[in-house]
Amino acid sequence: MPVTYTAKLDEALNRLHVEGRYRTFIDIERKNGNFPHATWRRPDGSETSITVWCGNDYLGMGQHPVVLEAMHEAIDATGAGSGGTRNISGTTVYHKRLEAELADLHGKESSLVFSSAYIANDATLSTLPKLFPGLIIYSDELNHASMIEGIKRNGGAKRIFRHNDLDHLRALLAADDPAAPKLIAFESVYSMDGDFGPIAAICDLAEEFDALTYLDEVHAVGMYGPRGGGVAERDGLAHRIDIINGTLGKAFGVFGGYIAASAKMCDAIRSYAPGFIFTTSLPPAIAAGAAASIAHLKRDQTLRARHQTQAKILKLRLKGMGLPIIDHGSHIVPVIVGDPVHTKKLSDMLLDGYGIYVQPINFPTVPRGTERLRFTPSPVHGPEEMDKLVRAMDALWSHCALNRQELSA
Ligand SMILES: Cc1ncc(COP(=O)(O)O)c(C=O)c1O
């Protein structure tokens, strides 16, 4: 009896369709100098001008002249790719400069650049037990998939603590052998609810139980702290974090990820992590653009300040209309719809009827029943765009409340 590969694929895909969480990618073309505006290419080939409200180019740095200039210069000087792994001809002055910029950003001795923050999390967390035999990792239950994967694959012991629950974390730490090496892995800004991790209190517990700390600042770097070093920098806590993880692809507007830590920690990860060793290094132009972006955001407070103001204004206005938004005081604006089909329908209506692009967020990215639209206002969203969004949400929300059947259709 032959294996029915195609039927199995159909079954797997159908499961997603039935649950209403089959992912459809929207084909968009960003226009240089025009973000958050873009062109949406419909499946029939026709084009519509849209405003992107769900991107993670949080500060618009993806089209900032300083970044583009650095990338053009590097590409003209060195060409496209790096041509090798970091070990075999792929370490350039651009990579070294970027790593120095990152170490300085976080006040650490060293940093290591990876292909993405996903890879940085996965590669680092899956390697740590090789360095610390018997390591137990304590992981917040809402940690990003990249941390979960790294922790799962590492073959070491893991404990999952309830989200931001310090009592639970303490109980788990206290239940383990005091002599066992330990690491607490958590995030500074949880990207789907926009709430903050209790960094100081977790550092206190880490000190008490002699554990290392690992902080994912992917949704904070560039945006928080006087130089964009993240929430740990803002709160004067970066020195208490052993390993900081960040991305170059969101607020810094380019691509790639990294960890920043002690020279010895980075040296050990550099030497043992397959996800760092056995892959081509970032193209030099990417490294140059990222370094320019970081350097710029160390000095420029205006984008950071405007970003926070924009988020506050949007939350106030949506709240004023009685929409169920989550507000933890960060830059992320989630509106809970609570049903995958309704969320998709609302997103389609916004796109089709108003040229507003906000991708529906479903399980497994968020728990079932909390499906949502996640808005990411930026400093480059103007007052007109904000007005248009608020009016559209007002109209659709009232319309949908009266027409639940239409949403379910
Ligand atoms: C919390 C968190 N960590 C890590 C990542 C991965 O970042 P990157 O896009 O650089 O791979 C993401 C991506 O969305 C994230 O939300």
Quick: pLDDT tens for 15-44: 999 887 788 899 999 999 999 999 999 989
DSSP H stretches of helix in 355-382: none
Q: Tell the residue nearest (CA) to atom 8 of ligand 1.
A: 117
Ligand 1 contact, 191 CB (< 6 A): yes
The predicted pLDDT at position 364 comes to 85
What are the distances in angstroms from CA 131 to CA 128, 151, 258, 272? Answer: 5, 14, 19, 8
The predicted pLDDT at position 306 comes to 97
Ligand 1 contact, 146 CB (< 6 A): yes
Side by side, the strands of the sheet bearing 360-361 are: 333-336, 372-375, 360-361
Q: How far is the CA of 364 from the centre of ligand 1 (A)?
A: 15
Catalytic residue among 158, 250, 315, 345: 250
Q: Catalytic annotation on 319? A: no
Q: How far is the CA of 259 from the centre of ligand 1 (A)?
A: 12
Whose structure tokens read 């928080």?
Answer: 224
Q: Are strands 243-247 and 182-187 parallel, antiparallel or unpaired?
A: unpaired
Q: How far is the CA of 2 from the centre of ligand 1 (A)?
A: 40
Q: pLDDT below 50 — which residues of the chain?
A: none
Ligand 1 atom at minimum distance from 117 CA: 10
Identify the H or E element spanning 347.
Answer: helix 340-354
pLDDT in tens, 182-235: 999 999 999 999 999 999 999 999 999 999 999 999 999 999 999 999 999 999
CB-CB contact of 74 with 92 (8 Å): no
Side by side, the strands of the sheet bearing 47-52 are: 28-30, 37-41, 47-52, 356-357
The predicted pLDDT at position 100 comes to 98
Q: Give the predicted TM-score (pTM) of the model.
A: 0.95
- Residue 96 backbone dihedrals phi, psi, to 5 degrees: -65, -40
User: Ligand 1 test: best mutation among 57, 102, 124, 146, most atoms within 8 Å of CB?
Assistant: 146
pLDDT in tens, 365-400: 899 999 999 999 999 999 999 999 999 999 998 877
Query: Could you give all domains of the chain from N- to C-terminal order, each with its CATH number?
Result: 20-52+303-407 (3.90.1150.10), 64-298 (3.40.640.10)
Number of CB atoms found within 10 A of residue 403's CB: 12
Q: Tell the residue nearest (CA) to atom 7 of ligand 1.
A: 117
Q: How far is the CA of 258 from the centre of ligand 1 (A)?
A: 11
